[in-house]
Amino acid sequence: MKEILASLVVTFGLPLMMPVLVGASPKIDEKQAIVETVENETTKTEVKEFDIYIKIDDELKKEALIKETEFVIRKKESETIQAEDFIEYLNLKDLDKWSFTNETSQQEWSLQSLSEMELTSDLHLMLSKKEISQDTLENSKQQEVSETSRDNDIKSTENTLETTQAISPTVPFTSRYLPPIPSNKSKFLLPLSSVFSQPVTGKNGTTVSDPPQVIDDKILQITANKRYQYGAIWSKKKINLTKDFRMRSYIYLGDKFMNAADGVTFTLHNDPSGDKAIGSHGSGLGAYSSGKDSYRKYIANALSFEFDTHYNGDQNDGMDLDVVESDKQYHRGHVGFAIPSNQNHLGKPRHECVKYPENDLSNTIWHQFDVTWSASTKELKIELPDLNLSDTFNGNPTGNEIVYKISNPLETFKSNSVYWGFTASTGQNFAENAIVMSSIPNSISHQATVRKSETEAFETSLNVAKGETLEIKDNIQLDDIDSRFSPKDYIEIDISGLDYQPNSLTIGGQKVPENDISQSNNKLRIELQGVYSSVLVNADKTELRMKAKVINEANDKANQVLKYRFIYFGEGVVSDSTDVTLTLPKRTYAYHQLAKIRQATDSNFTNTITTHEGNKVVLKNTITALDNSLFKKGSIYFSGNGINNSDMTIKLNDELYTGVITSVGNEYKIELTDEMARKANTQKQLVIEVACELEKSVKEDKLLYTFSYEHDQFPKTASNRVEIMIDRYGGVTLSVPESFDFGEQKITNRTKRYSSKIKGDLKVIDKRRPDSNNWCLQLREMQPLTNTNNVNDLANLLEWHLDKSSTRQMINQGFATIMTSTGNWDPQTDEFGVDLIVPVEKQLVGEYKGVLKWQLIDAPSS
């Protein structure tokens, strides 16, 4: 239905009555439970990074190369190039003699001079066998000795405070050198100060060994980098072999390559000496008997796994008589199990499960060393992922796992509860031996899980998104009848990437007082004292629950993996839970587009419309971001023929677009800014509306339109098509007079009829198809003729006549049909009209105005 408005003004003048009708237009300190993050730490300050591209000269490839002939080392602006950067790629024993040549400037550097450089750009270096001049080498060494001495003095001062407190105030501290731990291995290291008993040291001839000690709370150094050392260190608490346990550590066996001695053992034991047990020096590795130790000391009721860096196959010191003798020549070392006894020096009992590494054990590298005990299968599994092991010397690699079956732990250990720890020794040859740990055998086990809602099951891993609230649970179990919870115990968790939700933390179903929870540097610490007496005093297990919100955001490059674990701290206990893994999937940019269209006069959008040339239409595309997708700065396109772009308006999410619109041919482009994308991301939806007019003359009978969206991570992708069918017959239109003027009239003493003077034409133009239905013209009194001071109106006093002979119709508040027909209609102004009939009582002086409303319907009247 199409409406046409016409306004009328009637004026009654003073003192005469003068009617005139006129037309008008129509969002830690050490006491925090650790949840560990694997990846992607965000810093507030952007630090420049430089790439050092290394190529290996052909002469060096055979003797120096471990991996690729070309590799890249990445350094931050404040970092320097060190020997450790090359560990993964090269054998380093002669690195200080080789030459680094800048491939651009041809300048040559030693490693020493290279390490003193301040990086300001990327470097392209060739490492060659060409030796640095002796003067340069000596100068570098002198400077290095001076700096090392100075550094060690500083380290001694710093370490004395911590290690003497951690182990024993009565043990004198000895200055020692330790290599840096690679960053990819140092993120997860546990504090060790409270785990071990006081160290045990022995005497090798007249040499008193330096004691093992914990340095910087996380590095257990078993022997110093010097001759004739040996010692042992044991856990404060025994572990229960009727329960599973696991250990992850990294072991450092020095930098002596084939000149290293003697090695390290990981040992389980129930020796009567308890945490004071120790074996012999030298080939005894601090665990076995040795031919050079007249006491033949060994650790009883024990099983050892050894990293033996030196071959001992002499007749009177034959610990390695059953090891492949080729190892004696090349001294790469071997690994395997052995049972300590007073016959080890005679080669009895034999080694078990011996394996040989492809490269030297003492090769400057921290080797991953994992131990898993299965109580059900009674198998002790060793995993050495960094070593290529074979069953024979120089044989083909056979895997990185070694499994030893302990058929009867009671027979082996004389108990199901054993101490665990490490022993080590050096001889005339020596090497530094150290351990760091990221998972420790314990008498407490706990399983961490997570879920998103109370209706879901707890899982060990989840895919998550920024803003989601998670419930994290830790089931804590005492695995030993001698173990007890203590009010002094506490739990820590590193919640980097999460936001702890206050008042959500419970233990054993009881809310933990907020003053027992502290947070610092993303670490949450939970003291047990507040719930000890009511929940933990007689318990052997409990459950911790907490809620946290994800605050990290997915990125475009890779999945972001966050790992979290709880760490329980007690006397002699540092127990880490299993990991909870949260993955923020790499942002995958995917969108759903739905294009629609409507006529400007309609309210509903559809896929296809039929309209006439020159009519106004509205094109609409709704883009919905799927999954974890976000809108980004980019471009939006719409294309199609027949658009008159002189009067085009565009809205984005109901806001008028005021930016630049460019066009190439029949394609129009608008730019989506960062701010526009940010606003769209709050709704996860972007709605584009284009209001435009069709050209007056369109050649095609059907017009097709599509939208497209693109940005740097999303290729230009089109929506569905919408269609306009052109109706070339047009519609039906109406023109009405501007006014009906009744003139100036005098008041009389009788009812009076007044004719109007018509200004403008009354026309119906019908461009429809010949078989179209009748159109219908209607008229009503929208506002009665009323004088200006509203004291009198002339409502329901108007009459319509089509011609002088037709029946007259009263015009009132309801529509009256005044004409029904097809085709054009153009009556003469002297044939139709509107009359005003005013009774005597309505004839009051004044100026009168009113409004008539016309309506043309493209359908017959009902």
Query: Would you say residue 67 has pLDDT above 70?
Result: no
Name the residue with higher pLDDT: 293 or 639. Answer: 639
Output the pLDDT for position 63. 62
Q: Find the mean pLDDT for residues 556-581.
A: 90
Six-digit token pair at 826? Answer: 């153009």
Output the pLDDT for position 51. 80
Query: pLDDT per residue over 711-749, tens digit each?
Result: 999 999 999 999 999 988 878 899 999 999 999 999 999
* Spacing of C-alpha 162 from chain mean position: 37
Output the pLDDT for position 103. 76
Query: pLDDT per residue over 747-775, tens digit each?
Result: 999 999 999 999 999 999 998 888 889 99
Name the residue with higher pLDDT: 143 or 451. Answer: 451
Output the pLDDT for position 843. 92
Output the pLDDT for position 64. 61
- The dihedrals phi and psi of 722, each to the nearest 5 degrees, come to -120, 155
Confidence at 826, pLDDT banded by 50, 70, 90: very high
* Spacing of C-alpha 493 from chain mean position: 19
**Which residues, in sequence order, are CB contacts of 833 under 8 Å at separation 6+?**
740, 755, 756, 758, 800, 801
CA dist 800 and 401 (Å) reads 105
Confidence at 319, pLDDT banded by 50, 70, 90: confident
483: Cα within 13 Å, side-chain hemisphere: 29
DSSP 514: G
Q: What end-to-end distance do the CA atoms of the chain give, in Å?
A: 13
850: Cα within 13 Å, side-chain hemisphere: 31
**Cα 818 to Cα 765, 799, 800, 861, distances in angstroms:** 16, 11, 8, 10
Task: Looking at 549-695, list the stretches that DSSP marks H as alpha helix, in order from N- to C-terminal side.
Answer: 674-683
Query: pLDDT per residue over 183-208, tens digit each?
Result: 777 667 888 988 999 999 877 766 67
Query: Would you say residue 11 has pLDDT above 50?
Result: no
Instruction: Evaluate whether 502 touches 519 at the Cβ level (below 8 Å).
Output: no
Output the pLDDT for position 47. 61
Pairing of the two strands 444-451 and 517-520: unpaired
Output the pLDDT for position 538. 85
Name the residue with higher pLDDT: 658 or 134. Answer: 658
The DSSP-derived string for 329-366 is HH---EEEEE---TTGGGT-SPPEEEEEESS-S-SS-E
477: three-class secondary structure by DSSP:
strand
Which structural domains are found in the chain, ordered by start? 2-23+737-857 (2.60.40), 49-132 (3.10.20), 196-390+413-439 (2.60.120.200), 444-584 (2.60.40.740), 591-726 (2.60.40.740)
Confidence at 27, pLDDT banded by 50, 70, 90: very low
Query: Would you say residue 12 has pLDDT above 80?
Result: no
Output the pLDDT for position 598. 97
Per-residue buried b or exposed e for 159-178, using 16+ beta carbons within 10 Å of the residue's own CB: beebbeebbeeebebbebeb
Query: Would you say residue 32 has pLDDT above 50?
Result: no
Output the pLDDT for position 853. 96
- The dihedrals phi and psi of 677, each to the nearest 5 degrees, come to -65, -40
Using alpha carbons, select from 442, 475, 278 the residue that is nearest to residue 373. Answer: 442
Per-residue buried b or exposed e for 497-533, using 16+ beta carbons within 10 Å of the residue's own CB: bbebeeeebbbbeeebeeebbbeeebbbbbbbebbbe
Surface-to-core class of residue 801, CB atoms within 10 Å of its CB (0-12 exposed, 13-18 middle, 19+ buried): middle
Output the pLDDT for position 677. 96
Query: Would you say residue 106 has pLDDT above 90?
Result: no
Q: Find the mean pLDDT for residues 87-94.
A: 65
Query: Would you say residue 45 has pLDDT above 50?
Result: no
**Cα 137 to Cα 110, 111, 131, 576, 582, distances in angstroms:** 8, 10, 9, 48, 51
Using alpha carbons, select from 215, 126, 208, 109 the residue that is nearest to residue 164. Answer: 215
Confidence at 671, pLDDT banded by 50, 70, 90: very high
Q: Find the mean pLDDT for residues 604-632.
A: 94
219: three-class secondary structure by DSSP:
strand
Q: Find the mean pLDDT for residues 2-7.
A: 37
pLDDT exceeding 90 applies to what percent of the chain? 53
Query: pLDDT per residue over 408-438, tens digit each?
Result: 999 999 999 999 999 999 988 999 999 999 8
Confidence at 579, pLDDT banded by 50, 70, 90: very high
Q: Find the mean pLDDT for residues 49-73.
A: 71
Output the CA torsion 33→568→441→261 (10° steps): 60
Name the residue with higher pLDDT: 224 or 605. Answer: 605
Output the pLDDT for position 861. 64
Name the residue with higher pLDDT: 41 or 662. Answer: 662
Instruction: Mean pLDDT check: name the lowest of 43-57, 151-165, 543-557.
Output: 151-165
Query: pLDDT per residue over 301-317, tens digit each?
Result: 999 999 999 888 776 67
pLDDT exceeding 70 applies to what percent of the chain? 83
The DSSP bridge partners found for residue 338 are 304
Query: pLDDT per residue over 641-664, tens digit each?
Result: 999 988 899 999 999 999 999 999
**Cα 35 to Cα 41, 85, 687, distances in angstroms:** 14, 28, 41
Confidence at 132, pLDDT banded by 50, 70, 90: very low
pTM of the predicted structure, to 2 decimals: 0.56
Output the pLDDT for position 54. 82
Output the CA torsion 778→780→782→787 (10° steps): 140
Q: Find the mean pLDDT for residues 569-588.
A: 90
Query: pLDDT per residue over 208-237, tens digit each?
Result: 788 898 988 889 999 888 888 999 999 998
Instruction: Evaluate whether 111 touches 100 at the Cβ level (below 8 Å).
Output: yes
Instruction: Evaluate whether 310 touches 260 at the Cβ level (below 8 Å).
Output: yes
**Which residues, in sequence order, are CB contacts of 243 under 8 Å at separation 6+?**
375, 445, 479, 480
Output the pLDDT for position 53. 81
Q: Find the mean pLDDT for residues 598-624.
A: 95
206: three-class secondary structure by DSSP:
coil
As a whole number, the mean pLDDT across the chain is: 83
Query: Would you say residue 6 has pLDDT above 80?
Result: no
Pairing of the two strands 517-520 and 655-656: unpaired
